[in-house]
């Protein structure tokens, strides 16, 4: 083979690898673990039975800091939520108690709030989802489960600011929503008319539907617009914490993004560190209803 021909093949290989590298490869081992956790998530709510989703219209493009956007969803995103079922499941009920704490913003965390966080973490650590995530992890990073006080490790990872950012949401300078990636908080804020769902965000060929368990969406909260947000829908707190913690513990990089297939969805999971604690974590839906499987088959 001539040097010129070899160089041509080399350039072509580099070009093609660049195309394939536009999106990280699917982490198959992580996908397997996360699907095992998915199967064990007996506390997950069922769409159409425990809650109803109304997808409605596609949200418009809007820049960060804009307060007025066109509303493409006249109805709430979530309705007919079985609140009695939520409050009868220990992890959900203790999680909702924690959400109530953040309704009243205070500078100091009270002893009572720390106790409630410990009760929540204790409940989470008792679930099959969390126990399996610890025992089956190939990462060798979840050994803290053998500690006498594993909730201490959890509290360090998910300190009050990390919990608030991911699961509650915050506003920055009154112009930007940061965090806010939890469906229960979304529902409660929507129910209390603090939040207004504006529509879904998706590519033309990959429209979401009412049984998707991950959604990209746009909303306003206390008058501030989040141009693009995302959240798991219907999942239990323990599932979300298990998934995000496994990604968090994969390495010590400030930002980690992995692509995984869970149930019928392909998604990115993004985890950003803040020192030794969780800064933020969220899913980003790439495709749903098994479309990525069909595309791969073709």
Report the catalytic residues. Answer: 165, 181, 226
What's the first-to-final CA gap in the chain, in angstroms? 33
The DSSP bridge pattern shows strands 214-221 and 255-262 to be unpaired
Beta-bridge mates of residue 200: 58, 217
Burial 139-166 (b: 16+ CB within 10 A, else e): eeebebeeeeebbebbbebbbbebbbbb
Which two structure tokens, joined as six digits, stand for 102?
């953040």
Work out the burial of residue 42: count CB atoms within 10 Å of its CB; fewer than 13 is exposed, 13-18 middle, 19 or more buried: exposed
Q: Are 221 and 179 in contact (CB under 8 A)?
A: no
Instruction: Let me know how many helices (H) and strands (E) the chain has, helices first.
Output: 11, 10
Q: Copy the structure tokens of residue 226.
A: 């989040």
């Amino acid at each position: 083979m001539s040097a010129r021909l070899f160089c041509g093949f080399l350039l072509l290989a580099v070009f093609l690898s660049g195309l394939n590298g536009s999106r990280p490869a699917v982490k198959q081992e992580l996908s397997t673990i996360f699907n095992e956790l998915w199967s064990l998530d007996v506390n997950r709510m069922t769409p159409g039975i425990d809650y109803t989703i109304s997808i409605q219209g596609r949200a418009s493009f809007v820049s960060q800091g804009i307060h007025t956007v066109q509303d493409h969803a006249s109805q709430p995103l979530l309705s007919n939520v079985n609140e009695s079922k939520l409050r009868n499941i220990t992890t959900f009920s203790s999680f909702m108690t924690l959400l109530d704490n953040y309704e009243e913003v205070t500078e100091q965390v009270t002893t009572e709030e720390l106790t409630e966080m410990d009760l929540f973490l204790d409940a989470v650590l008792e679930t099959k989802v969390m126990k399996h995530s610890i025992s089956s992890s190939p990462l060798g990073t979840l050994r803290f489960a053998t500690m006498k006080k594993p909730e201490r490790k959890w509290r360090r990872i998910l300190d009050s600011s990390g919990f608030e950012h991911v699961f509650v949401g915050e506003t920055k300078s009154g112009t930007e929503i940061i965090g806010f990636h939890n469906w229960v908080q979304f529902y409660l804020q929507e129910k209390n008319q603090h939040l207004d769902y504006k529509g879904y965000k998706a590519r033309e060929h990959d429209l979401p539907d009412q049984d998707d368990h991950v959604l990209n969406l746009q909303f306003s909260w206390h008058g501030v617009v989040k141009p693009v947000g995302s959240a798991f829908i219907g999942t239990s707190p323990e599932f979300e914490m298990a998934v995000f913690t496994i990604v968090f513990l994969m390495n010590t990089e400030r930002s980690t993004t992995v692509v995984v297939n869970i149930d019928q969805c392909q998604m990115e999971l993004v985890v950003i560190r803040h020192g030794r604690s969780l800064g933020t974590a969220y899913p980003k839906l790439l495709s749903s209803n098994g479309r990525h499987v069909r595309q791969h088959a073709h």
